[in-house]
Amino acid sequence: MAGAETRGDTKPHIVFLGPPNAGKGTQAMRLAATLGIPAISTGDMLRAAVAQGSELGQRVQSVMDAGQLVSDELMAELVTDRLQQDDARDGWLLDGYPRTRPQAETLVGILADASLDLDHVLLLDCPDDVLKDRAAKRAREQGRTDDDPAVVAERLRVYREQTAPLVEYYEAQGLVRRIDGDQSIDEVSEAVLAAVRGDS
């Protein structure tokens, strides 16, 4: 188009969905590195704020420790700002956002404002007993306070209640690729790559 700005938007825009401990963080980082796009984890952003003791961190800490969701309004602000940063100009992978229907709608607005389409929604899922075993192991190894068994059960409940319905929402748009998270890390990575390349 004459006079149109040249946009660098040739790389994909990906949302990663899945219950806590399905392995999203690991796979998001691997896939993002392979594709040369940033892996944007809202959980990591919030944990960094808590670790810094910033005002945001102080506001969200008790909510996270209880396994509850941070408010949609606050998340909208955080994600809108993050997606405006330079490294997010050509493709991104969102890990941990959206987690509710209003968040999915916020993302629609962000995409529309930037004239972008979502390319893939990857759903990494695992049976609940596997998720709980992994959480117990991570609690021992990394000491994340929200990996305490009672909090894990709550995070899983919140996921099934508020986030899982997004699968249908995105399925209606033909975007969902399901990946079995109950395999080795390398096997999951292969399945993830195949899904993005459209040959699974």
For the question of residue 99 being annotated catalytic, the response is yes
Q: Which of 30, 99, 134, 177 is labelled catalytic?
A: 99
Q: How far is the CB of 95 from ligand ADP (least distance, A)?
A: 7
Which residues sit opposite 177 in a β-bridge? 122
| Of 79, 108, 150, residue with least CA distance to 71 | 79
| Residue number with CB closer to ligand ADP (9 or 153) | 153
Q: How far is the CB of 5 from ligand ADP (least distance, A)?
A: 30
Q: Which of 11, 59, 82, 138 is labelled catalytic?
A: 138
Q: Which of 24, 30, 134, 177 is labelled catalytic?
A: 24
Which residues sit opposite 178 in a β-bridge? 123
40 within 8 A of 58, measured Cβ to Cβ: no
- Nearest-CB residue to ligand ADP? 43
196 within 8 A of 37, measured Cβ to Cβ: no
Q: List interacting residues with ligand ADP (CB under 6 A).
A: 20, 24, 42-43, 46, 63-64, 67-70, 75, 96-97, 99, 103, 146, 155
Q: How far is the CB of 44 from ligand ADP (least distance, A)?
A: 7
Cβ-count burial 101-116 (b if 16+ within 10 Å, e if not): eebbebbeebeeeeee
| Residue number with CB closer to ligand ADP (42 or 189) | 42
For the question of residue 144 being annotated catalytic, the response is yes
| Residue number with CB closer to ligand ADP (6 or 142) | 142
Which residues sit opposite 92 in a β-bridge? 13
Give the largest CA-CA distance in the chain: 59
Q: How far apart are CA 36 and CA 28, in angstroms?
A: 12
| Phi, psi dihedrals of residue 48, rounded to the nearest 5° | -65, -40
Q: How far is the CB of 4 from ligand ADP (least distance, A)?
A: 33
For the question of residue 89 being annotated catalytic, the response is no
Which residues belong to the active site? 24, 99, 138, 144, 155
